[in-house]
Amino acid sequence: MESYIPIIVLLGIALVLALLLMSLSRLLGPFRPNTNKLNPYESGMDPVGQARERYSIGFYLVAMEFIIFDLEVVFLFPWAVKFTELGFGTFVAMVIFIIILFIGLFYTLKKGTIYFELKPSISNRT
């Protein structure tokens, strides 16, 4: 456990440094806000509506795929460190595990879930 203490100290120092930089800029910089400055930037136009509207479902699908593969990697980590000691049986088990996930990956790729292709119905929407 003691080897984790430098990490905590480093986290603390980084936080202090960031706070220091921010407060320095507060001290040295001007502070004269007005409505034009505080508007969201929209290439010089008056902002239209809010930014937080609906966006492409593709992003959600990518996030879901990512969760699956990230979990798979978490399972691979302990095996990768000790796999020569665990022998050939676990190797075969891991290959089967990877193949099962690959069937899923190829299915989603075939379905075209991760492509950000604009369907005509979306691109023609006004």
Partner 1 sequence: MIEFLENITPSTTMALVIHAMIPLGLILVYALFAIWMERKVAAHVQDRLGPMRVGWHGWAQTIADMLKLLQKEDIIPTDASRFLFRFAPFLIFVASYAAFAVIPFSSGYIGSSINIGVFYLLAITSLLTLSVIMAAWASNNKWSLLGGMRSAAQMVSYEVPTIMSVLSVIVVAGSLNLMTVTEMQSGNEILGFLPNWLIFQNPFLLVAFVIFFVSILAESHRVPFDLPESESELVAGYQTEYSGMRWGIFMLAEYADMLLLSLLGVVLFFGGWNSPFGTFMDGPVWGFFWFMLKGMLLVFVMMWIRWTLPRYRVDQLMRICWNILIPASFVNFVLIALWEMIF
Binding site for partner 1 (CB under 8 A): 1-7, 9-11, 13-15, 17-19, 21-22, 24-26, 28-33, 35, 37-43, 47, 50-52, 55-56, 58-59, 62-63, 65-66, 69-70, 73, 76-77, 80-84, 88, 91, 94-95, 98, 102, 105, 109, 114-117
CB of 125 to partner 1, least distance (A): 16
Written as one string, the DSSP assignment of 12-51 is HHHHHHHHHHHHHHHHHS-----HHHHSPPSTTSPP-S-S
- Give 114's DSSP letter: T
**Residue 3 exposure: Cα atoms within 13 Å on the Cβ side:** 0
Crossing angle for the helix pair 58-86 and 88-111, to the nearest 10 degrees: 170
CB of 14 to partner 1, least distance (A): 4
Ramachandran sector of residue 31 (left: φ over 0; alpha: ψ -120 to 50; beta: rest): beta
Residue closer to partner 1 by CB (options 44, 121) is 44
CB of 101 to partner 1, least distance (A): 8
CB of 124 to partner 1, least distance (A): 18
Residue closer to partner 1 by CB (options 37, 125) is 37
Backbone angles phi, psi at 108, to 5 degrees: -65, -35
